[in-house]
Amino acid sequence: MRDVLLDRIQFGLTASFHFIFPPLSLGVGLMLMVFGIQSVRTKDPKWRQLSLFWVRIYGLIFAMGVATGIVMEFEFGTNWSVYSRYVGNVFGSLLAAEGIFAFMLEGGFLGLMLFGGTRLGNRMWLFATSMVVIGAHFSATWIIMANSWMQTPQGFEIAQGPNGPMAVMTNFWEVVFTPSFIPRLLHVIVASWMLGAAMVASVSAWYLLKQRHVDVAKTMLRVALPVFCVLSVLQAGVFGAQQATVVAEQQPVKLASMEGLWETRDCAPLYLFGWVDTNSETTSGVSIPCMLSLLVGFSPDTQVEGLDEFPVDDRPNVNLVFQVYHAMIDLGMLFVGVSALVAFVAWRRRLYTSRFVLRLLVVNVVLVLAAIMAGWWTAEFGRQPWIVWEQLRTVDAASPNLSTTTVAISLIGFVLVYAVLLVVFLWLLNQKIQAGPPDPPEATEIESLPDSFGEIFARRPRASSRVG
């Protein structure tokens, strides 16, 4: 057994950095589908103008997602070879299915989506966009499925492999539908949609503050804000709250860590913020009495298991899990507040002029991303010390033949390259936003583009018929 800290840092860094982009592509993708549908319905060129603008940003997000995602596909093998041998039968097949069903769908249609704006009619472009966006959602589904199996594994038995024990699939559908899968999937997808809506709202609000592209910005806000407001309420009230029940049932030690609950009790409190002292086994802060019991069992009498039920070796880093979890729920509550404020000023017809609300909307997207990241960290830090829940410990899962120096070299490489990548991303994103939406095309121009499979494949090469 060797020290796995650097491996964990490297995996955490690469996974977290990657995880900026998939939720963005789900959310912005949803917005693009709305624009596409509106374009088909109304034939108003302003919707195509919006699509042309956002598809450029989508292309950038997608390229980042692919570049950082390729790393993830190999990193289980490079740093976690014991884990890979242990779970290959189960986990590997979910990753491969993601590749075949989802990623290829996205990759295949991406070119059509990105370069289709000047080549495809409304319906065919919506089709290409939908394929990419559905592909992205499939992708998320398989990945959350694989991760959920690590959280709540089932449908397998332990067999003796050539190099030690390994998990062998006994029932594919049990592997797919682990108890945590569907609730976690909904939670992540709703969060991603919130992020997409917040992103569109942020750009629109910024245009309104600067008095640029005002009409376009208002249209975008009218699409994005209702989505954000409804989803943020649903997330806080339904999809997020549902997690507490599932985690309490499946991973009680994780829930106890999230809330810093040291003793099993009824009327367990829900902290708003606080600090956990692991030495004295106490948690201090501001809390709502009985709220955790209410969340878990819909009654203040519900018994919630505390950390005292679990050996110290089986607990995660309690304060870390507590802090990231509270960052998420506090931000979640903030989003409900933002939504209420937005609804109020919209009702008072001051949405487009209230500089405070517009400024808030500009930064809101960063907060949503932060909440998503904090939520993911809660799930992953909370899973420790296990890499596969109650089956395989993280410390036992790393590649035994790597030296600390080797991992340090690759970690430094990742830090440097990802720093460049982040700068590139922000710079290009800013450039695209500054450039603003292109001029809307003429309606007749859109009408002249091929808009069915027959028309597309009957044509002479379009690439050569265009003069740049």
Partner 1 sequence: MWLNQLWFVLYVVIIGGYVILDGFDLGVGMLSPFLARSDHDKRVLLNSIGPVWDGNEVWLVLGGGALFAAFPFVYASLFSGFYLALMAVLLVLIMRAVAIEFRSKRESARWRTTWDWFFTISSTGIAFLLGVALGNVLRGVPIDDQGNLTVDFVGLLHPYALLLGVAGVLMLALHGGIYLTMKLSDELLERVERLVPRLVVAFFVVMTVVIVWTLFLPEDFAQNFRDRPWTAIFPAAAFVAVVVAWRSIRARAHGRAFVASATMIALLMASVAAALYPVMLPASNDPANSLTIYNAASTQETLTVMLVVAVLGMPFVLLYTAGVYYFFRGRVQLDEDSY
Identify the residue among 44, 413, 426, 448 touching partner 1 (CB under 8 A): 413
Identify the residue among 1, 162, 279, 298 touching partner 1 (CB under 8 A): 162
Identify the residue among 169, 272, 367, 433 touching partner 1 (CB under 8 A): 169
351 binds partner 1 (CB under 8 A): no
341 binds partner 1 (CB under 8 A): no
Tokens of 446: 């859109």
Distance CA 260, CA 247 (A): 14
Interface stretch with partner 1, choices 26-34, 168-176, 285-293, 316-324 (CB under 8 A):
168-176
458 binds partner 1 (CB under 8 A): no
Stated as kind and residue range, the H or E segment containing 286 is strand 282-288
At its nearest, how many Å lie between partner 1 and the CB of residue 132? 11
Identify the residue among 5, 238, 370, 409 touching partner 1 (CB under 8 A): 409
Beta bridge partners of 160: 165
420 binds partner 1 (CB under 8 A): yes
Q: Is residue 430 classed exposed, middle or buried when 0-12, 13-18 and 19+ CB atoms within 10 A define those classes?
A: exposed
Is residue 290 helix, strand or coil?
coil
At its nearest, how many Å lie between partner 1 and the CB of residue 220? 21
Which residues, numbered 44-63, are part of the site for partner 1 (CB under 8 A)? 60, 62-63
Residue 256 main-chain phi, psi, to 5 deg: -60, -35
- Give yes or no for a cis peptide into 316 (omega within 30° of 0): no
Identify the residue among 13, 95, 241, 341 touching partner 1 (CB under 8 A): 95
Interface stretch with partner 1, choices 43-51, 88-96, 239-247, 326-334 (CB under 8 A):
88-96
Beta bridge partners of 286: 273
At its nearest, how many Å lie between partner 1 and the CB of residue 445? 13
433 binds partner 1 (CB under 8 A): no
454 binds partner 1 (CB under 8 A): no
For partner 1 (CB under 8 A), the number of binding residues is 82
Stated as kind and residue range, the H or E segment containing 328 is helix 318-347
- Smaller CB separation from partner 1, 131 or 267: 131
* DSSP per residue, 343-412: HHHHHTT-TTT-HHHHHHHHHHHHHHHHHHHHHHHHHHHHHTTEEETTTEEGGGSS-TT--HHHHHHHHH
Is residue 422 within 8 A of residue 369, CB to CB? The reply is: no
Radius of gyration of the chain (CA): 24
Identify the residue among 68, 148, 192, 243 touching partner 1 (CB under 8 A): 68
- Residue 442, C-beta contacts closer than 8 angstroms, at least 6 positions apart: 45
At its nearest, how many Å lie between partner 1 and the CB of residue 385? 21
134 binds partner 1 (CB under 8 A): no
Tokens of 195: 């992020």
Enumerate helices (H) and strands (E) in the chain, giving the number of each. 19, 6
- Smaller CB separation from partner 1, 100 or 238: 100
Identify the residue among 5, 100, 158, 363 touching partner 1 (CB under 8 A): 100
Distance CA 135, CA 102 (A): 5
- Alpha carbon 379 to its chain centroid, in Å, reads 12
- Smaller CB separation from partner 1, 285 or 450: 450
Tell me the angle at which helices 318-347 and 355-383 cross, rounded to the nearest 10 degrees. Answer: 150
Which residues, numbered 140-159, are part of the site for partner 1 (CB under 8 A)? 159
Identify the residue among 145, 399, 437, 451 touching partner 1 (CB under 8 A): 399
Identify the residue among 5, 158, 172, 452 touching partner 1 (CB under 8 A): 172
Question: Of 311, 369, 301, 287, which Cα lies nearest the Cα of 335?
Answer: 369
Interface stretch with partner 1, choices 208-216, 234-242, 254-262, 413-421 (CB under 8 A):
413-421
Interface stretch with partner 1, choices 33-41, 79-87, 206-214, 235-243 (CB under 8 A):
79-87
